[in-house]
C-alpha cells in the first residue's frame, strides 16, 4: 500500500509542521506526567532509605547485580537501536527501519526475560513480600518494605517495557505496509521518545536498588 | 453494522455539529470536541446528581442530634461517596472537560483539539472510572472519606477501597488526557494573530489548570497504586505497624489534592473573567495580572500542601513554611478579585443570569478565600481542624465558587452550545435561589465549626441542632435551585427561541461563528487583529483617559 499524501496530515491541522510540533509537544508533556508518576515511588524510596539505611543496604545485597548489569547494557543498547530506527524512518530506509525495530523488540524481550529470572530467584529465596516472606537477619519489616518498593518500581518499569514492546510490534507491521516515510515518521519518533524515557527510568532505578552498598565484605 | 449516520439531506437548517451526523454511533465514536463535551456534560450531571443524593442523605441524618436515620457505618459511606463523586467526578472534570472541551478550540480559532482521539479516550476512561465507583456502591460502599487516609484505608477498612481507588485512578487519567490536549492545543493551534496576550482569560486559566493536572495527578495515581499494593500484598508502605510511614501518604496525597483545589477553581476564575467583561461591556482591568496570576496560583499551589497536616505530626518548622506560603497564594487570588471588581467600576452592567452567578461567585469566593487564611494560620487551624469550619470553608470555594461559575458558564454558553435561548426569568430566579440556599447551608457550618462541632460525626450534642437544621433547610433550597435549571434548560432545547450567533453581543471568537457551531467550528480560519475583550471604550472614560 503506497503512502497516500493527503491522509498524512489530519484535517484539523493546518499543515504537517503544525501536526509534527503538536505530536512532539504532546509526547513530551506525557513524559512529564510519567516522571511525576515514577516520582512518587522514588519519593517513597528516598523517605524509607533515610529512615532505614541499614535495612536497605542489606536488602540491596540480595539483588542479583550481574543480571541487572547485563540488563542495563541490553537496555542501553536497545535505546541505540531505537534511535537508529527513527533515523531509518526519517531517511526512508524501510528495510533498516524494520530491522532496527525488531532489534529493539528483541533487546526489550531479553531485558524482560532476565528480569523474569531475577523475579524467579526472589520467589525461590522467599524474598517476595507477603505471607511467604522470610528474613533471618534483623529489620524484618524494613527489608520487606525494601523488597516491596523494589517490586513496585521494577514491576511498573517492566509494565512500561511491555507496553513499549507491544507498540513496537504493531509498528513493525505498519512499517511493512510502508506507513512510515520521511514525511510521516512522527509515530516512530514518538515511540522512540517513550522508549528512551523507559531507559532513563532504569538508569535511575539500577543504582538506587542495586548499587547502594556494594563494598566488598 | 447498525443504522448509523443516514445521509439526511434536508438542507433546511444549516449544517452544525449536532445535525452533522445522526445515530448513537456518531456520538459514541465521535472525535468532535463539541460532541465529547456534550457526552461529558451528560455524565458529569449524572454524577453531580448522585453526589447530591449522597449529600442529602447526610443532611437528613444530621437534622436530629441522635443517629436515627442510618447507622454510623452507612453515614460514613454516604459522606465518602458524596466527597468522592463530587470531587473526582464532578468538580475536577466539570468545567475543563465540559466547557473547556467545547470552548477552547472555538476561542482560539482551531478546528479541534490537537488529539481528538485522545479526547474521546478520556471520556471512555472517565466512564470506566465511573463504572468502578458505581460498583463500589453496589458491593457495599467505602467508608474511608474521600481522603483515603492510611493506615485505615490500607489495612483496617473493610469497604471496597481497591475498587474506589481504581475508580479515582481512572478518572485521574481521564483528566491527564484532557490536560495534555489543552496544553498542546493552546501552544500549537492558535489562529493566526492570536498571540498569548490576546488569548481570552478562560484559555489562560485552563492552561494553568492543565499544568497542575499534568504535574499533580500522576502523583495521586502512584499513591493510590501504593495503597492498593499495600492492601493486596500486605506490604507496609504506609502502615506504621509494618515499618511504613502514614505521614508519607498524607504528603503524597495532599501534594495532589491541594493543587486539585486549584484544578477546580482556576477554570471557574476563567469563566468569571468572560462573564464579567461580557455583561459590563468593558475591557478587563489588568489583563496581564489576571493571566499571570493564574500561573502564579498553579505554581504556588504546589508548595502549600502541608497546611492540611498542621496537626498530623509533621515538623513545626515545615508547618511554619507551609503557613507562610499559604498566605502567599492569597495574593494572586486577591489580584483576580480586585481586578474583576475594578472591571465592574463604571461598567454598563446588565444583571442577566450568568452575571448573577458571576457576582455570586465573587462574593462567595471571597468568603471562602478569606476563611482559608484563618485555616492557613497554624495556630487558628489547630483550634478548627476537622471541624465544620473546614467543611464550610472548602464548600464556599468548591460549591460557592466552582459550581456558581459552572452554572454561570452553562447559562452563558447555552445559546452557543444548543442554539436556543432559555427563559431569563427562570434563570434569574434559580440563580437567586441557589445563592440563598447555599449561604443558608454553609454559613451556619462556620459558626458550629468554630463552636467545636467536628466533621464526619453522625450524632452530636443538642446545642448544635439549631445550626444543623438551618443547614439542612438550606440544602433543601439549594437542591431545588439545582433541579430548576434542568427543567427550563431542557424546555429551551425544544421550545426555546433561536439564539442567533451572538445573543449577548459579546466579544470572543466563539461568538463569531454560528450557534450551534458547524462541525469544523469556522467556515474559514479566523485571523485575529485585536486584543481579547475589545469592547468599545465608553465616552466618559475616553475623556478622562485621553491624556
Residues B22-68 have pLDDT tens digits of: 999 999 999 999 999 999 999 999 999 999 999 999 999 999 999 88
| Phi-psi domain of B459 (left: phi exceeds 0; alpha: psi -120 through 50; beta: other) | beta
CB spacing of B245 vs A48 below 8 angstroms: yes
- With CB atoms and an 8 Å threshold, state whether A141 touches B525: no
A142 touching chain B per CB within 8 A? yes
H helices of chain A, in order, are 16-51, 53-61, 65-90, 94-124, 140-176, 186-210
d(CA B112, CA B491): 29
Cβ-based contacts under 8 A for chains A and B? 111
Please tell me which residue of chain B has the smallest CA distance to A17. Answer: B188
Task: Give me the residue from A30, A129, A131 closest to B180, CB to CB.
Answer: A30
* B242 chain-A contacts, CB cut-off 8 A: 141, 144-145
Q: Is B21 on the interface with A (CB under 8 A)?
A: no
When scoring A30, A36, A131 by the number of chain B Cβ atoms within 10 A, the one with the most, hence best to mutate, is: A36
Query: What are the C-alpha distances in Å from A76 to residues A166, B60, B511?
Result: 19, 62, 53
Q: Is B174 on the interface with A (CB under 8 A)?
A: no
Q: Is the model's pLDDT at B4 over the cut of 60? A: no
Which chain B residues touch A39 with a CB distance below 8 Å? 218-219, 222
User: What is the DSSP annotation of B133-145?
Assistant: HHHHHHTT---ST
Query: Which chain A residues touch B176 with a CB distance below 8 Å?
Result: 33
Q: Percent of chain B having pLDDT more than 90?
A: 82
Q: pLDDT at residue B244 above 60?
A: yes
Considering only alpha carbons, which residue of chain A is nearest residue B186?
A22
- Whole-complex ipTM: 0.91
Answer whether residue A6 shows pLDDT above 60: no
Q: Which residues pair with B454 in a beta bridge?
A: B387
CA dist A62 to A71, A147, B205, Å? 17, 10, 50
Contact A22 B115 (CB under 8 A): yes
What is the second-level CATH architecture of the domain A40-210? Up-down Bundle (1.20)
Residue B222 contacts A, CB cutoff 8 Å: yes
Task: Return all residues near A5 (Cβ < 8 A) that are at least 6 apart.
Answer: A183
CB contact under 8 A, A145 and B242: yes
Question: What chain A residue is nearest to B117 in terms of C-alpha separation?
Answer: A10
For chain B, the domains span: 28-536
Question: Are the Cβ atoms of B188 and A48 closer than 8 angstroms?
Answer: no
- In angstroms, rounded to a whole number, what is the distance separating the alpha carbons of residues B469 and B486? 27
Contact A143, A58 (CB under 8 A): yes
Distance CA B248, CA B244 (A): 8
DSSP B164: H
Mean pLDDT in residue range A71-84: 97
Residues 6+ apart with CB under 8 A from B74: B141
Topology given in CATH for the domain delimited by B28-536 = Cytochrome C Oxidase; Chain A (1.20.210)
R_g of chain B computed on alpha carbons: 23
A22-53 tens-digit pLDDT:
999 999 999 999 999 999 999 999 999 999 99
Percent of chain B's residues with pLDDT above 70: 96
What is the structure's pLDDT at B538? Answer: 64
Q: What is the pLDDT of residue B540?
A: 55
Question: Nearest-CA distance from A95 to chain B in Å?
Answer: 30
Q: What is the DSSP letter of B485?
A: H
Number of other CB atoms surrounding residue B176 within 10 Å: 25
B15 vs B491: CA distance, rounded Å: 23
Nearest CB among B184, B187, B219 relative to A39 is that of B219
**Model confidence pLDDT, tens digit, residues B288-310:** 999 999 999 999 999 999 999 99
Task: Among B115, B189, B215, select the one facing A36 at the smallest CB separation.
Answer: B215
Q: Which residues contact B225 (CB under 8 A, 6 or more apart)?
A: A152, A156, B165, B169
Cβ distance of B233 and A22 shorter than 8 Å: no
pLDDT of amino acid A7: 64
The phi and psi torsions of B387 (rounded to 5 degrees) equal: -110, 180
Work out the angle at residue B341's Cα, subtended by the Cα atoms of residues B337 and B343, and round it to the nearest 5 degrees.
Answer: 120
| Nearest residue of A to residue B113, measured between CA atoms | A12
C-alpha angle A176-A177-A178 in degrees, rounded to nearest 5: 90
pLDDT tens sequence across B75-105: 999 999 999 999 999 999 999 999 999 999 9
Please list every residue in chain B whose beta carbon sits closer than 8 Å to the beta carbon of residue A38.
222
Quickly tell me which residue has 532504569 as its cell.
A202
**CA dist list (Å): B198 to A165, B61, B102, B190, B536:** 44, 51, 19, 10, 16
Residues of A in contact with B223 (CB under 8 A): 40
Q: Tell me which DSSP letter residue B353 carries.
A: H
CB contact under 8 A, A11 and B244: no
Measured between alpha carbons, how far is B285 from B297 in angstroms, rounded to an integer?
19
Q: Is the peptide bond before B278 cis (omega within 30 degrees of 0)?
A: no
Q: How large is the average pLDDT for residues B204-211? A: 97
Give mean pLDDT, residues B508-512.
94
* Alpha-carbon dihedral sign for residues B193, B194, B197, B198: positive
Give the pLDDT of residue A217: 54
A114 at B interface, C-beta within 8 A: no
The three cell numbers of residue A30 are: 506525557
Question: Domains of chain A: which residue ranges?
Answer: 40-210
CA–CA distance from B534 to each of A167, A189, B275, B432, B530 (Å)? 48, 42, 14, 30, 7
Q: What is the pLDDT of residue A3?
A: 46
Residues of B whose CB is below 8 A from A18: 188-189
Judging by beta carbons within 10 Å of its beta carbon (0-12, 13-18, 19+), is residue B444 exposed, middle or buried? buried
Q: Which residue has the cell 519518533?
A: A189
Residue B1: pLDDT band with limits 50, 70, 90: very low
Q: Which of B401, B400, B194 is nearest to B297 (CA)?
A: B401
Q: What mean pLDDT value characterizes chain B?
A: 92
pLDDT score, position B428: 97
Report which listed range, A122-126, A166-170, B399-403, is most confident.
A166-170
Test A37 with B188 for CB contact under 8 angstroms: no
Say if residue A2's pLDDT is above 50: no
Chain A nearest-CA distance from B351, in A, is: 38
- Which residues between 248 and 277 in chain B have a beta carbon less than 8 angstroms from any beta carbon of chain A? 248, 251-252
State the DSSP string of B432-473: HHHHHHHHHHHHHHHHHHHHTPBTT-S---GGGHHHHHHHHH
Backbone angles phi, psi at B454, to 5 degrees: -75, 155
- Mean pLDDT of the B117-132 span: 96
CB atoms within 10 A of CB B177: 25
Amino acid at each position: 500500500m503506497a503512502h497516500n499524501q493527503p491522509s498524512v496530515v489530519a484535517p484539523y491541522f493546518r499543515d504537517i509542521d503544525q501536526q509534527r510540533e503538536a505530536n512532539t509537544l504532546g509526547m513530551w508533556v506525557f513524559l512529564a506526567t510519567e516522571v511525576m508518576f515514577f516520582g512518587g515511588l522514588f519519593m517513597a524510596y528516598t523517605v524509607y532509605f533515610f529512615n532505614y539505611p541499614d535495612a536497605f543496604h542489606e536488602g540491596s545485597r540480595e539483588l542479583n547485580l550481574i543480571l541487572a548489569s547485563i540488563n542495563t547494557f541490553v537496555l542501553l543498547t536497545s535505546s541505540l537501536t531505537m534511535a537508529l530506527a527513527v533515523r531509518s524512518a526519517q531517511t526512508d530506509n524501510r528495510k533498516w527501519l524494520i530491522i532496527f525495530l525488531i532489534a529493539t523488540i528483541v533487546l526489550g524481550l531479553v531485558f524482560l526475560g532476565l528480569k523474569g529470572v531475577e523475579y524467579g530467584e526472589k520467589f525461590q529465596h522467599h524474598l517476595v513480600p507477603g505471607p511467604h516472606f522470610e528474613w533471618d537477619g534483623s529489620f524484618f519489616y524494613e527489608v520487606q518494605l525494601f523488597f516491596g518498593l523494589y517490586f513496585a518500581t521494577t514491576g511498573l518499569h517492566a509494565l512500561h517495557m511491555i507496553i513499549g514492546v507491544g507498540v513496537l510490534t504493531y509498528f513493525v507491521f505498519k512499517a511493512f505496509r510502508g506507513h512510515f516515510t520521511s514525511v510521516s515518521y512522527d509515530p516512530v519518533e514518538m515511540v522512540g521518545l517513550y522508549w528512551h524515557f523507559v531507559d532513563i527510568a532504569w538508569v535511575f532505578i539500577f543504582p538506587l536498588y542495586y548499587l547502594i552498598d556494594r563494598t566488598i565484605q | 453494522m447498525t443504522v448509523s449516520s443516514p445521509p439526511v439531506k434536508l438542507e433546511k437548517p444549516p449544517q452544525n455539529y449536532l445535525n452533522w451526523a445522526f445515530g448513537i454511533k456518531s456520538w459514541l465514536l465521535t472525535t468532535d470536541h463539541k460532541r465529547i463535551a456534550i457526552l461529558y456534560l451528560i455524565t458529569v450531571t449524572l454524577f453531580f446528581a448522585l453526589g447530591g443524593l449522597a449529600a442529602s442523605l447526610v443532611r437528613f441524618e444530621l437534622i436530629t442530634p441522635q443517629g436515627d436515620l442510618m447507622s454510623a457505618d452507612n453515614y460514613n459511606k454516604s459522606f465518602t461517596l458524596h466527597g468522592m463523586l463530587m470531587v473526582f467526578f464532578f468538580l475536577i472534570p466539570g468545567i475543563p472537560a465540559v466547557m473547556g472541551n467545547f470552548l477552547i478550540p472555538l476561542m482560539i480559532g482551531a478546528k479541534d483539539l490537537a488529539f481528538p482521539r485522545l479526547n474521546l479516550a478520556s471520556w471512555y476512561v472517565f466512564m470506566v472510572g465511573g463504572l468502578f465507583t458505581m460498583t463500589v456502591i453496589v458491593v457495599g460502599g467505602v467508608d474511608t472519606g474521600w481522603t483515603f487516609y492510611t493506615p485505615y484505608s490500607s489495612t483496617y477498612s473493610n469497604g471496597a477501597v481497591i475498587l474506589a481507588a481504581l475508580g479515582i485512578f481512572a478518572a485521574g487519567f481521564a483528566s491527564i488526557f484532557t490536560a495534555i490536549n489543552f496544553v498542546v492545543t493552546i501552544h500549537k493551534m492558535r489562529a493566526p494573530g492570536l498571540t498569548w496576550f490576546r488569548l481570552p482569560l478562560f484559555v489562560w486559566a485552563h492552561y494553568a489548570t492543565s499544568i497542575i493536572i499534568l504535574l499533580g495527578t500522576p502523583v495521586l495515581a502512584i499513591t493510590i497504586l501504593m495503597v492498593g499494593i499495600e492492601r493486596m500484598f500486605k506490604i507496609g508502605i504506609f502502615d506504621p505497624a509494618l515499618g511504613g510511614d502514614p505521614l508519607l501518604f498524607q504528603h503524597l496525597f495532599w501534594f495532589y489534592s491541594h493543587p486539585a483545589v486549584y484544578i477546580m477553581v482556576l477554570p471557574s476564575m476563567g469563566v468569571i473573567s468572560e462573564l464579567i467583561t461580557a455583561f459590563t461591556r468593558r475591557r478587563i482591568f489588568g489583563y496581564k495580572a489576571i493571566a499571570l496570576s493564574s500561573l502564579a496560583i498553579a505554581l504556588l499551589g504546589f508548595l502549600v500542601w502541608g497546611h492540611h497536616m498542621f496537626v498530623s505530626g509533621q515538623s513545626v518548622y515545615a508547618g511554619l513554611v507551609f503557613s507562610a506560603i499559604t498566605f502567599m497564594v492569597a495574593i494572586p487570588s486577591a489580584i483576580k478579585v480586585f481586578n474583576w471588581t475594578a472591571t465592574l467600576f463604571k461598567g454598563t452592567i446588565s444583571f442577566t443570569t450568568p452575571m448573577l452567578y458571576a457576582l455570586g461567585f465573587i462574593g462567595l469566593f471571597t468568603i471562602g478565600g478569606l476563611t482559608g487564611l484563618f485555616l492557613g494560620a497554624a495556630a487558628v487551624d489547630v483550634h478548627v481542624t476537622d471541624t465544620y469550619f473546614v467543611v464550610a470553608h472548602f464548600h464556599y470555594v468548591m460549591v460557592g465558587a466552582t459550581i456558581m461559575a459552572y452554572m454561570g458558564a452553562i447559562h452563558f454558553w447555552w445559546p452557543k452550545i444548543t442554539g436556543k435561548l432559555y427563559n431569563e426569568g427562570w434563570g434569574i430566579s434559580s440563580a437567586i435561589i441557589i445563592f440563598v440556599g447555599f449561604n443558608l447551608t454553609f454559613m451556619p457550618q462556620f459558626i458550629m465549626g468554630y463552636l467545636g462541632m467536628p466533621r464526619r460525626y453522625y450524632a452530636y450534642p443538642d446545642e448544635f441542632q439549631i445550626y444543623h437544621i438551618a443547614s439542612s433547610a438550606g440544602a433543601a433550597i439549594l437542591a431545588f435551585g439545582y433541579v430548576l435549571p434542568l427543567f427550563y434548560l431542557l424546555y429551551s432545547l425544544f421550545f426555546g427561541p433561536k439564539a442567533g450567533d451572538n445573543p449577548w453581543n459579546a466579544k470572543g471568537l466563539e461568538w463569531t461563528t454560528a450557534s450551534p457551531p458547524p462541525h469544523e467550528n469556522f467556515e474559514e480560519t479566523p485571523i485575529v487583529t485585536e486584543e481579547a475583550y475589545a469592547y468599545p471604550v465608553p465616552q466618559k472614560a475616553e475623556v478622562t483617559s485621553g491624556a
